[in-house]
Structures are given as structure tokens and as C-alpha cells.
Chain A
């Protein structure tokens, strides 16, 4: 699968990744999304009742942990990371509102159309994310 992300995801990722209490986020993202087939990624809560382009909310990292929102476009084998938030800690929140879910959904469609995305790859040691503007 090819992995992309929205600006919203990158901003939030950079903010969390700079904090010690969330320093497992990067590895969690790498472990869950890289070198996976779309079948591996079809779990969690599907928000949009779509078989071909599921919009998914996934819990990562067991206790408390993170919530990642992403879209799969199965026929293209693309993943679009849309947003991430921790459940606990100083930046933690229980959930995001339905309006925010709808906003991100609309935003990802617009960014796919205009190709306003980041392309995600790993460094040589496969332990760091590199964001490249498309």
C-alpha cells in the first residue's frame, strides 16, 4: 500500500512526536501501516459504510493509546492518514466530534483531487517517518 497523509495529520504528528509521553507514536504508525495489505488495514470502526473506500477509525497502542483516522482507496492500494490524537495525557481527548469527522472526510477528498498531500516513506533504518510533499 502507498501511504499518504493530510497536512492535519502531519501537524498533529509533529506536535505529539516532540513530546516524551507520546514518543511511541512513530513506531506505532510504522508497525501498523507499513508493509501491510489492505485486508490487514480493514479493522477498527468503519465510519462511512463504504466497501471500496472505507473511512476508518483505529485504536493503536493498547491502553489509552492513540486514535488514527484514515481512508483506504482499495482499488488504488492507497492509504490516506487523516488525523491522529492520543486518548490520554496532556493532549488527550476522548473522541472527535461528528463535525470534525465530516470535515476531515471532505478535506481528504479535496486533497486527493488537488494532489495536496504528503507521501510517507521510511528512513534507511526503517524507524523514522519521512514526509515528502507530493
Chain B
């Protein structure tokens, strides 16, 4: 008889717990519409800001390439290009850190495509500062290279 009472009480407790939890879940589920919408909104905001950032980097890449087509640059231009190379290197290391901080999103397949385009644009940025260094500071110092340019102008 005592045993049965204990069971009855246990069942009643379980029922009470389930009922309370069920009521709370109906009233305020974890994935309620508001919370879900807020989550999706922040995801859309993140996607948008990443796309905008990628667009800006792509436009920098195009502008950097155009610099290699300028003629008759003076010493001051070369100094500015040198400063530009340093600034791009600095920007690149900040962007790479940002990319690494997105690893957990990438691994879960969240905004994967946008992160991939972002990474491409920063890879191209790195390639571009290396190219600027080659074009303005390294290749012109190679004697064979200068001589070839001279000879090609006579072909």
C-alpha cells in the first residue's frame, strides 16, 4: 500500500513536470518565430556585409592592377607605391584573421559561398601586392629583364 502511494506520487510529479514544461514550451518555444526571425536577420546582415566587403576588395584589386599601366612615374610615385604595398600587406593580414575566425561557420556550411568569394578576393589582394613589388621594385633591377625590354622595342 505504501509502495503504491510512493509510485502514485512519483507519477504525479512526473505528470506535473511534463505539464509545466509543455505549457512553457507552448508559451515560449526556443525556436519561436521571433527568435528564428532574429537569427535569420542576423545571418542575412552578415551575408550582406561580407558581400560588400568582398566587393570593396575586388575594386581595390582592379585599381591596384591599373597602377601597373601608369607611365612616367617619378620618385614620389614610387614612394607612394611602396606605402601602398605596406598598407595592402597590413590589410591582408587583418582580412586573413577575419577569414580564420569564420572557420566554424564554414565548417557548418553557413554562408559558405560568400566566405569562399571573400577568401578569393583576399588571395588576389596578396597576389597583387606581390605583383606590385615585382613590377616596380624587383623586375626592373634584373639586368636581363631591362635588356629584354630594350631589345623588344627594336623588334
In the complex the two chains form, is A102's CB within 8 Å of B144's CB?
yes
Contacts A57-B131, A73-B155, A94-B127; A44 near B65 (Cβ below 8 A): yes
In the complex the two chains form, is B139's CB within 8 Å of A109's CB?
no
Query: For the complex, is B60 an interface residue (Cβ under 8 Å from A)?
Result: no
Q: A68 to B142, alpha carbons, bound, how many Å?
A: 22
Q: A112 to B120, alpha carbons, bound, how many Å?
A: 36
Digit string of B133-150 for contact with A (CB within 8 Å is 1, else 0)?
A: 011001110101100110
Query: For the complex, is A46 an interface residue (Cβ under 8 Å from B)?
Result: yes
Question: How many A-B pairs fall under 8 Å by CB?
Answer: 74
**Count of residues in A whose CB is under 8 Å from the partner chain:** 29
In the complex the two chains form, is B149's CB within 8 Å of A50's CB?
yes
Query: For the complex, is B98 an interface residue (Cβ under 8 Å from A)?
Result: no
- A82 to nearest B CB, angstroms? 12
Could you say which of B124, B134, B149 contacts A59, with CB atoms under 8 Å apart?
B124
Contacts A109-B151, A109-B155; A46 near B135 (Cβ below 8 A): yes
Chain B residues within 8 Å of A42, by CB: 69
Contacts A48-B149, A101-B139, A106-B148; A53 near B69 (Cβ below 8 A): no
Could you say which of A52, A59, A106 contacts B144, with CB atoms under 8 Å apart?
A106
Residue ID in chain A nearest B137 by CB atoms? A98
Could you say which of A43, A46, A59, A63 contacts B116, with CB atoms under 8 Å apart?
A63
Contacts A98-B138, A102-B139; A109 near B152 (Cβ below 8 A): yes
Prevailing SS type, chain B contact patch: helix
Additional pairs, 8, CB under 8 Å, beyond known A47-B68, A98-B142, A112-B155: A45-B65, A47-B139, A48-B145, A50-B149, A63-B116, A98-B134, A101-B139, A106-B148
Residues of A within 8 A of B (CB): 42-53, 57, 59, 63-64, 71, 73, 87, 94-95, 98, 101-102, 105-106, 109, 112-113
Contact sample, A vs B, 8 pairs, CB 8 Å cutoff: A46-B69, A47-B135, A49-B135, A49-B140, A50-B149, A63-B116, A63-B117, A102-B148
